[in-house]
Structure 1
Amino acid sequence: MLGLKYVMAKGMELTSKGMELTSKLELGAVVGVGTSASHPTDGSAAPPPPPPPPVATAPATAAAPLEPSPHSEGEAFIAAQHEQWERVLSRHRRLLESGERLSAELQAARRRLQDQVESEAYVAQHFGEIAGVREQLARMRGLVEKIADDVEDVERFLLQQTEEHMAAQNASFVAQQEQELERFEAQILDEKEERHRVLLEARRQVLADAFEKDLKTYRTLVSYQGTTLAQRAMTPEPNETLESIDLVVPTDATTLEAFYDSEEEPAAEEKEEEKQEVKQEPKQETEAQEEDV
């Protein structure tokens, strides 16, 4: 406000000076016109003609100095005063603009200072509350850090428990698979023994049937021939060697190996089938258990 008042006072002062200068210029112009009118050359009221421009036709007159006329002096004075008045007005405008800028800056500085004073007063008035809020924030920060530590501990504990549970499940699954495999192998062995027993029983039955047939045939022969067959059985017969028997098939090593291999192939095929069954059964049970899980 002080700057604005100073600028306004300065502007009013310059305005008054300008008005005084204008009045003086007008007065000087009136005086110049009166003097020029009181000294006519030919006694008429017409103003004197302006001096002609210098011409090169008369070198003597061009070299001679021209006498200044009062009318030209008044016009020059008015032009000088007008220029000075324009300069004064431009300076006055610049001064007003600088005053306005200074006033705006002073108002902004005053607002900042007022806001700062108000904030300082607010802080001074509510210092206890601000300190309490700061302490509460510090306590809350400590609680948050403690909660974060507890969450990390819980996460580690849950991770450890999950790993232990997964290890226990894997161990139980492996043990169950081993038990299933052992039980399946035992079942396969039992089935194999059962098939072997059935096969032996069938062979025994066949041998028993053949023995019964041979016994019936022997009894029939005995009852038919009587003592002649018994005497023939009691008489020793000469033993024949293997070389004395004529073989239908020649004794070739390649033929004998092919003959024995042909007898061993069915047994080998049965063993391979049993192995494949043993391998496939655990896989099927494992897939079924994985689907259940």
Structure 2
Amino acid sequence: MTEVSQITAPSGVAVDFGGTKISATRLVNGAPQDSLKVATDGTASAAEQVAAICDLLDQLALQPQEVVGVALAGRVDREGCWHALNTETLSDVQAVPLRAMLSERLARPVAVQNDAVAAAIGEYHFGAGQGCRDFAFLTVSTGVGGGLVLDGRPVISARGLAGHVGFTTSTLGDRRCGTGRMNTVESRASGRAIAHYAAEMGQDGLTAKDVFEAHLAGKDWASELIATSAQAVAELIGNLTSLLDLDRVAIGGSIGMAEGYLDQVRAHLAAEPAIFRPDVVPVALRAEAAHVGVLTLR
């Protein structure tokens, strides 16, 4: 585990590189001032992905004195190298020395970290994790990710794998996910999974957002898919709590924050014995959690 060296509200420019979009935000004392975003091209080369990050920073008119942090989908190891875990999300990112590349290109030190780990740090210090010691952040979006803060310290491992809770197995899983593992939480609960199972039901060409809208419109097939996703996440929370004795879990992401989803997770979790039911809350910082967290690491 690594101590967070700074817990005052950060200032600087942060990039959040996710499975569907890349956003860059200027923060002043933790408050967003300017923000830009573009769609992620999951098939782009590593060099093109780095160029996309730098283009956003250029568009925000990055200043020489500003600190920079980058939060990313995938593993970030202790040397600052970036590795995709799910090749369905990023197909050509392996062992990219991102911290060194960006630090040289931008002529300053650049913090790089997994996006969910960064979001966990942001939420722990400035959002939904305040006041507890053992905390997990879960994002349910294109994929399922997580970050952990235990005994007040973020869990950051040498290979950058710690916190990738979406790649643990689920009793509801029945297929291989993009990591090569079978029956993972991500392969059952994520936005990509929801779209996959919708197509299996004959609902071709729909996104997870489309499925959620169908669920809210009362379509039984869509409600079944959303309920299964929420059940898989509830099972994950129970499993994590049995291992880590969590006080609180905050849920974010486009699906995690969608109307009624958190209530479904709580309802499924209620079937667990009380000791396996931590406090489950929505994220407080929403889309800014990773931005705040990665700059806190600076």
Q: Same fold (TM over 0.5)?
A: no
The interval holding the TM-score normalised by the smaller chain is under 0.3
- TM-score normalised per structure 1: 0.14
- TM-score normalised per structure 2: 0.13
Higher helix share: 1
